[in-house]
Amino acid sequence: MTIENTEELLLNMGPQHPSMHGLFRMVVNLEGETVTKIEPKIGYLHRGMEKLAESRTYAQFIPYTDRLDYLASPHNNWAYVQTVEKLMGVEIPERAEYLRVIFGELARIASHQVCIASTALDMAGWSAWSYAFRDRERICDMYEMTAGSRLTVNIMRIGGIIEPPAEFWPALKSFLDDTPEMLDEYNGIFFGNEIAQGRLKSVGILTKELAENLSITGPVLRASGVNYDVRKAEPYSIYDRFDFNVPVRYGCDSYDRTIIRMDEIVESIKIIKQAVRDIPEGPVMAKVPKVIKPPVGEVYHRVENPKGELGFYIVSDGTTKPARVRIRPATFINLQMLPIVSLGWKIQDVVAIFATLDAVLGEVDK
Amino acid sequence: METLSKPMETFDNLFLIIAHFIRGLFADPQSVWANLTMSIINFIIVVVIVVLAALILILLERKVAGWTSQRPGPNRLGPRGWFQTIADALKLMGKEDITPAGADKFIFKVAPMIIFALPMMTLAVIPYGNGLAPINLDLGIFYFLAISAISTVAFIMAGWGSNNKYSLLGGMRAVAQMISYEIPLLFSLLGVVMITQSFNLGVIVEAQKNIPFILLQPLAFVIYIIAGMAELNRAPFDLVEADQEVVAGPFTEYSGLRWGLFFLGEYGNMTAVSALAATVFLGGWQGPAILPGFVWFWLKVGIIIFFIMWARWTFPRIRIDHLMHLAWKVLLPLSILNIFLTGLGIYIYRLVMGG
């Protein structure tokens, strides 16, 4: 008996699949277990955010931004309200800026914890997943104290932020004190594990050139050896006042893309500690008119979201509603690398590579 | 001393005394009918062991999972959640039994039965206590491994019969993985066979009266546990049913009681592999006379099962090429080395003892 022509297996992963974060679908061509072609299909979570903004007032759109990257909702609020403030030329109080930094960095820690957890879970590291989620709960508790909700917090206002209650500060302090121990635990249960390192190291190489050409941003870019962070490159808010490093790694592989988030958590803690030390007393809301009517014009503003560069482009026609809103989501653009980088790897590795991108489909599909 | 050890001895031989009593009910205790009755009773006991093991182990697994990942685990139904598995089993029975339209119906339906039958066949040769083997087979280890190898066929049957790409991928993985790990598993047991000169599990347990073979064959024990976990498709070697990659592998299309049979089979197999480890390496029912033999046996099995569960919930899943690498380039040479060292040890022992 002779073997006739072999055929590639066309496998449809998603949109309902255990390791597709949210509603992502990829059509995979398989030669045995090896991936020969990947075609990402997105849009299952498309809600038309940009169009929705046109029929909402400026303030009404803030809760919608929560639903973009729902793992770091304060960042989305922040990027949007800062863009509107830039358009209106509003100066916001010192205390509000510090609070925004504190909540932004807390959100960064929470988002990175989810990334570490879900990477571990996509490789069946169940305990590592629950360790990271256990610690993230404490950040959610702090959100809840302040804003009343745990995930989509809607914490920022045009011209300021919510003042956290008195019990927020001891909770924050105890969280900051416990973080070195948490990071040790993640290292012990996941990053130090021989199998995990074998699964991640030198897998899914994203070269520096490719990363730059695809305009990839955030930790994924920095793990490919490019020192670029909007907080340093174009300091917004009060980031120029803090002493922190931008972690850069040169491995370009899945392992570095994951562990760089551990380094970023350390840096975020440094920033929060400085902010808590320096935060002044005072009001948390600037004097903004009741009805927000920015002058005619257009503005683009970008911030460093936990996943990369998040930008808002707003065109105002002088009415209470924006004429056009355009969102530049980080993971939508980072996701381009998946079909290129995953070629030739096993299907297991593709799952791990996808996890290290930390894609949130709310942001990809808008 | 005499008075103390007397009740213990009675307790130790409890099942033998019961068996003797049942045989005594027949006119001729060694007649065909008496033997047949005893065989049927033995069979029922093994089925009960498999089902009870699954019931207890599923709950235990969820408790161990809770313990490793810092959460309570099931704690609602009954005292501390102890009735959770019963509720789960009832739920499974009530579920609709779906056979996919494109499935190869016969193969699809036979596969879970095979999986469920295998642990019952393998558990039948294990000596649970002094003289307590349901079947005292001279080729015990050989039979055990031969039977457990059949499960590979059942996995590929389930994978092929479901007519699902994920199932097929899982089935192919099962074949690659289980055939590879069969070899180090078998070789790791050969050292013990060389020392005892017997395939009979009863004889092997008897030989461990003074010293359990884990001390003489530590390398073989480690190889056996690793290869055994891979044979069981337990994490970190659970590539066959890797839910993050192939959804549930060969089990994807199964529902209700058929899926439950796979589960029973998995936990039965886990009991069987742990029981063989306890018998061959940890001295089976041998132990200080403070506890009866069968209690010692189940304690040892429990320790190994706990270890396997602990590893599952702690480690991430290994990659398929690393898996093959481990089997063919690490475990196989090590197990051959172990056979060589054992042979050398026996040779030197005979030379010194003048045997």
SS3 labels along A119-182: HHHHCCCHHHHHHHHHHHHHHHHHHHHHHCCCCCCCCEECCEECCCCCCHHHHHHHHHHHHHHH
Look at A348 and B65 and tell me if their CB atoms are within 8 Å: no
- Round to whole Å and give the CA distance between B187 and B122: 18
- What number of helices (H) and strands (E) belong to chain B? 16, 0
- Round to whole Å and give the CA distance between B259 and B263: 6
Beta-strand ranges (E) seen in chain A are 9-13, 25-31, 34-41, 156-157, 160-161, 297-305, 308-316, 324-328
- Please name the residues in contact with B172: beta carbons below 8 A apart, sequence gap of 6 or more: B156, B159
Give the CA dihedral A102, A105, A111, A114, nearest 10 degrees.
-80
- Round to whole Å and give the CA distance between A333 and B204: 63
d(CA A29, nearest CA chain B) in Å: 12
Look at A124 and B70 and tell me if their CB atoms are within 8 Å: no
**Is the bond preceding B236 in cis, omega lying within 30 degrees of 0?**
yes
pLDDT of B9? 67
pLDDT of B2? 44
Q: How confident is the model at residue B1 (pLDDT cuts 50, 70, 90)?
A: very low
pLDDT of B82? 83
Percent helix, strand, coil in chain A, to 5, is: 50, 15, 35
Minimum Cα–Cα distance from B170: chain A residue: A33
- CATH number, domain A48-365, options 3.60.40.10, 1.10.645.10, 3.40.640.10, 3.40.50.720: 1.10.645.10
Residue A196 · residue A166 · CB < 8 Å: no
Summarize pLDDT for A28-39 with one digit per residue, the tens. 888 878 888 888
CB-nearest partner of B319 from A129, A189, A348:
A348
* String of DSSP letters for B30-79: TSHHHHHHHHHHHHHHHHHHHHHHHHHHHHHHHHHHHHHTTS--S-SSSG
pLDDT of A30? 86
Percent of chain A whose pLDDT exceeds 70: 99
CB-nearest partner of B316 from A120, A134, A347:
A120
Distance of alpha carbon B325 from the chain centroid: 25
List helix spans (H) across B199-255.
201-207, 213-216, 218-231, 243-246
Summarize pLDDT for A272-306 with one digit per residue, the tens. 999 988 888 888 888 888 888 888 888 998 888 88
- Please name the residues in contact with A177: beta carbons below 8 A apart, sequence gap of 6 or more: none
**Is the bond preceding A15 in cis, omega lying within 30 degrees of 0?**
yes
- Round to whole Å and give the CA distance between B197 and B186: 15
Q: Tell me the three state secondary structure of residue B285.
A: coil
- Round to whole Å and give the CA distance between B186 and B336: 11
Summarize pLDDT for A304-352 with one digit per residue, the tens. 888 888 889 999 888 888 888 898 888 888 888 888 888 888 888 888 8
Look at B169 and A199 and tell me if their CB atoms are within 8 Å: no
Look at B69 and A9 and tell me if their CB atoms are within 8 Å: no
ipTM for the predicted complex: 0.80
d(CA A197, nearest CA chain B) in Å: 10
- Round to whole Å and give the CA distance between A132 and A109: 10
Beta-strand ranges (E) seen in A54-130 are none
- Round to whole Å and give the CA distance between A225 and B33: 79
Domain ranges in chain A? 48-365
CB-nearest partner of A199 from B68, B235, B316:
B316
